[in-house]
């Protein structure tokens, strides 16, 4: 068991939540994962299909009023220790939707954010750099 927990430290699983995003950031996340030129699996990361398996949560979108409760419900299902990453300027500051009546964000009002990846959408390079930071934080918590 010791060996397994040591080996698992090198491969955090990532989980993606779209909280009202325009899909731009989600496309960039898919690009980062699927194109060999960027390739996040070299950092040990892999997307997983269930929040219960996740170690690092990537949240995109400006947290619309309708999706806020659902986001928090999914967020609760991710086991500790977890690292939260805000992808794109929408969850960080609200972006172009800032001060809109339909926006409940920014994200750090509701959940503790650890890493911000700025950009609209962020380039794959920025996402990889942010994930590298998130993995450092996660390794220090695990």
The length of the chain in residues reads 142
Judged by CB, which is closer to another protein: 13, or 24? 24
Handedness of CA 109, 79, 22, 101 (dihedral sign): negative
- Residues 31-60, interacting with another protein (CB under 8 A): 36-39, 42
Interaction pattern, residues 92-131, with another protein; x per rule: CB under 8 A: xxxxx-x---------x---xxxxxxxxx-xx-xxxxxx-
Q: How far is the CB of 99 from another protein (least distance, A)?
A: 9
Query: In the bound complex, what is the minimum distance in angstroms from residue 1's beta carbon to another protein?
Result: 32
How many CA atoms are closer than 13 Å to the CA of 65, on its beta-carbon side? 6
For residue 29, state whether it binds another protein (rule: CB under 8 A): no
Q: Which is nearer to another protein, 54 or 134 (CB)?
A: 134
Dist CA 71 CA 76 (whole Å): 9
List Cβ neighbours of 87 (8 Å cut-off, separation of 6 or more): 25, 28, 29, 58, 59, 60, 117, 122, 127, 130
CB 137 within 8 A of CB 83: yes
Establish if 12 lies at the interface with another protein (CB under 8 A): no
What is the contact surface with another protein in residues (CB under 8 A)? 36-39, 42, 89, 92-96, 98, 108, 112-120, 122-123, 125-130, 132-133, 137
């Amino acid at each position: 068991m010791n060996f397994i927990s040591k080996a698992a430290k090198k491969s955090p699983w990532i989980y993606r939540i779209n909280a009202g995003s325009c899909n731009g950031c989600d496309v960039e996340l898919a690009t980062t994962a699927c194109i060999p030129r960027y390739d996040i699996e070299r950092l040990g990361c892999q997307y997983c299909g269930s929040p219960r398996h996740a170690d690092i949560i990537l949240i995109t979108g400006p947290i619309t009023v309708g999706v806020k409760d659902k986001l928090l419900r999914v967020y609760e299902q991710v086991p500790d220790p977890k690292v939260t990453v805000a992808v794109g300027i929408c969850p960080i500051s609200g972006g172009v939707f800032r001060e809109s009546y339909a926006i409940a964000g920014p994200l750090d009002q509701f959940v503790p954010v650890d890493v911000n990846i700025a950009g609209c959408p962020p380039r794959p390079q920025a996402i990889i750099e942010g994930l590298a930071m998130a993995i450092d934080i996660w390794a220090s918590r695990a």
